């Protein structure tokens, strides 16, 4: 009986400790994304503005903790003409799963942290936006379309590394993060370009 009672007490203490070390959070914000590639003459590469939203768990207290996330994020790229206002933008909607080591310093009220780790992702949809001068209409027009996947050349999975720094005040947090993809987004055998995702995230969120 004493052994059973002792086991119950130990399990209760273990569960209570695990629960006290586990927290959940939600965040979202602005994403600035581009794709690394050799820019042809007559155009310039720019960031495509998008958004992101994520739910995350933080396991552990003190200096080191583990933070897995599930994130919706808009990646992509924008190219501009250097001679007029023409531009084309590709927005790529991904589900990403970062697995991060989080290092935290500070006190309970104000904490500064950094996180670093790998991520995997899946490109599930997209859209294009083109702004150009239409000679027929005699004016500048915007054309938006749903992106049609090319099964021969589009690579819909992604993997890379992410790292960032953040500040948490009470339950509120602000974070800046950089993501660097290792997988070519487009696969053309005669193309030696490294066409990989790059992005910055600026996030606001809560951790409870």
Is the residue at 180 inside a domain? yes
User: What is the pLDDT averaged over residues 143-152?
Assistant: 93
Is the residue at 184 inside a domain? yes
Paired residues of 98 in beta bridges: 119
Q: What CATH number should be reported for the domain holding residue 58?
A: 2.40.160.20
Is the residue at 16 inside a domain? no
Given a cut of 90, whether residue 7 has pLDDT beyond it is: no
> Which pLDDT score is estimated for 56?
98
The per-residue pLDDT for range 95-106, each reduced to its tens digit, is: 999 999 999 998
What band does 19 get if pLDDT is binned at 50, 70 and 90?
very low
H runs (alpha helix) in 32-92: none
Given a cut of 80, whether residue 180 has pLDDT beyond it is: yes
φ and ψ of 99, to 5 deg: -125, 105
Full-model pTM: 0.85
Share of residues in the chain with pLDDT > 90 (%): 68
User: What is the pLDDT averaged over residues 32-51?
Assistant: 86
Is the residue at 166 inside a domain? yes
What range does the domain containing 28 cover? Answer: 23-207
Is the residue at 12 inside a domain? no
What band does 191 get if pLDDT is binned at 50, 70 and 90?
low
Q: Which of 77-81, 131-135, 142-146, 189-193 has the lowest mean pLDDT?
A: 189-193
Is the residue at 15 inside a domain? no
Cα gap 196→118, rounded to integer Å: 15
Domains of the chain: total: 1
The answer to whether 187 and 201 are in contact (CB under 8 A) is: no
Cα gap 109→102, rounded to integer Å: 17
Is the residue at 48 inside a domain? yes
Computed over every residue of the chain, the mean pLDDT equals 88
Place of tokens 């209570």: 16
What band does 82 get if pLDDT is binned at 50, 70 and 90?
confident
Is the residue at 45 inside a domain? yes
Cα gap 65→5, rounded to integer Å: 32
């Amino acid at each position: 009986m004493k052994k059973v009672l002792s086991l119950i007490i130990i399990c209760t203490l273990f569960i209570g400790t695990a629960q006290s070390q586990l927290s959940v959070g939600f965040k979202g914000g602005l994403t600035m994304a581009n794709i690394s590639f050799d820019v042809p003459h007559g155009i310039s590469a720019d960031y495509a503005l998008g958004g992101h939203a994520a739910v995350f768990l933080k396991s552990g207290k003190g200096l080191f903790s583990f933070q897995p996330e599930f994130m919706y994020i808009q990646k992509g790229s924008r190219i501009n003409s250097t001679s007029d206002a023409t531009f084309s933008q590709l927005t790529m909607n991904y589900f990403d799963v970062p697995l991060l080591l989080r290092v935290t310093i500070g006190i309970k009220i104000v904490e500064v942290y950094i996180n670093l780790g790998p991520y995997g992702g899946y490109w599930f949809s997209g859209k294009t936006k083109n702004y150009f001068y239409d000679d027929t209409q005699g004016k500048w027009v915007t054309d938006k379309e749903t992106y049609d996947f090319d099964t021969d050349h589009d690579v819909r999975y992604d993997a890379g590394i992410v790292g960032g720094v953040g500040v948490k005040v009470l339950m509120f947090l602000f974070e800046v993060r950089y993501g660097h993809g290792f997988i070519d987004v487009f696969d053309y055998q005669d193309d030696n370009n490294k066409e990989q995702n790059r992005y910055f995230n600026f996030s606001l969120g809560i951790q409870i």
